[in-house]
Structure 1
Amino acid sequence: MPVYINKDHQRMFYEEIGTGEVLLCIHPPGMGRKVFVNQYELSSTFRLIIPDLSGHGDSDTTKIAPAISDYSSELLDLLEHLQLKEVILFGYSAGGSIAQDFALTFPDRVKALILSGAFPKVAVKLLEVEFKAGMSWVKQDPGSLAKLLSFSHFKSPEIRAELEHHMSKSDPFVWYHFYNESLKYDCTDRLQEFKMPLLLLYGNRAKWIKYHVKYYQSCSDPSLVIVDGAFHQLPASHGPIVNQAIRDFYERTFTAIQKTHGLL
């Protein structure tokens, strides 16, 4: 597994699988890169880069309470290390807060933006309660929270155990502050700045998450996929559907761009 030593002399672990366009996956608080295990199959189409953010999984922790912007800077440093000019960003849940911040701060480095169960701000009381419950839980018993999240994401006992073990390595201090920063994050007044192709993925049964779709209407021609019968955990619970949606989005979007520029 590749390891990168960042500018703060901390180790950052990441998976690198496949060849082709780079798809950089950004995980939610506490979960680490293992939440994207069902996306490994995309390596037949993309070059996957799946890091453990600082304080998560196998990466070293940080002494500061990281802000969303800190994680964006961390990802930029990783891109520089890998000599990548631009990537397709895939942010899941609160990982989407980092993806959106990165795309707004470094738009020239983002070829396309994919958000699964994301939100430009926490605009629903139920979601706010969920965040605050997670923050309280991770302070009191992060082990049982890791067990619950592993169980809610995957059916396979082996994958559940692997994810739970991986989450047990995450620093509860960082985990808590990632929740807190995502709870406070708000980019609603900047959504019109997203000029890159945008794909939104939601489960139709995650009503308090799906509510946020309306905010993205100000974006330039976003693509939307609603998965019938699904809750919030799409990359884990409906991996094949998510993966095919990403492939279709990429082919539809970039084939059209190539034709427009006479490259096909």
Structure 2
Amino acid sequence: KLANLIITISKALACANRISAVFEQKPGITEKNHTCLEACEGAPAVEFKDMTFTYDGAREPALSNISFSVTRGQTVGIIGGTGSGKSTLVNLIPRFYDATEGGVLVDGHDVREYPLDQLRGKAGVVPQKAVLFHGTLRENMQWGKKNAADDEIYEALKTAQALEFVEEKAEGLELYIQAGGKNLSGGQRQRLTIARALVRKPEILIMDDSASALDFATDARLRKAIKESTQDMTVFIVSQRATTIRNADQIVVLDDGAMVGCGTHKELFENCEIYREICLSQLSKEEVQ
């Protein structure tokens, strides 16, 4: 018993030291302003100004000299190879990281000037990994908006192409969801995560490769529904599928942290070699046109 007690105490001390180290950790992102900012009239919804970002401890920047602007209501596709910096780029908008050089502007203000609550209240983020919590479907949807009514939830489920399979379940919004959504398929988890972001009706919707588990037909219906029901919403779609982003108002092509192209599908297919290679590796020449 004494030996077991010594082992337990040793483990407890190690855990306590780790918890203490976490509490002592200072956040890298801090608020400089606690006053809400008004949008600048005529300013782009999102703008990257000669932005360079380097992770702490990295020798080379993850993104270099990124410059482009997005007007309100536009859909922007972000495409590139693995490790090209797609997720890093969109994570700078809600200020999960701070730009090393240059800046990221939302409604005409640098994101570093916003109170974090206001800035992140403008954005709805759907991460690569669909994360659902233990509880009912209604409780999961209300993580996006605490006081969301059932009608709002059903509207978001319909846009996210999740309403059909929810209606097939007898429980409706009382559908029980295991931790991590283990009792759902990958596509169902992704659609519910998208719906949770849509419930908030954010000004900026960021979908970080969040439809990868969907079949092409469902993916197409999802993109059409989002475009029709979110006319004033600025949408960023990160994807490795050319079909997912080909109809975007503008497409940003990344390669090894650099922006090698920005334009429409037709413009990039004619003028950007990397985008052309991506398209032809996934589609036939007839489908590309």
Q: Normalised by the size of structure 2, how large is the TM-score?
A: 0.28
Relative contact order, higher structure (CA 8 A, sep 6+): 2
* Structure having the higher Rg: 2
Q: Which protein has the bigger helix share?
A: 1
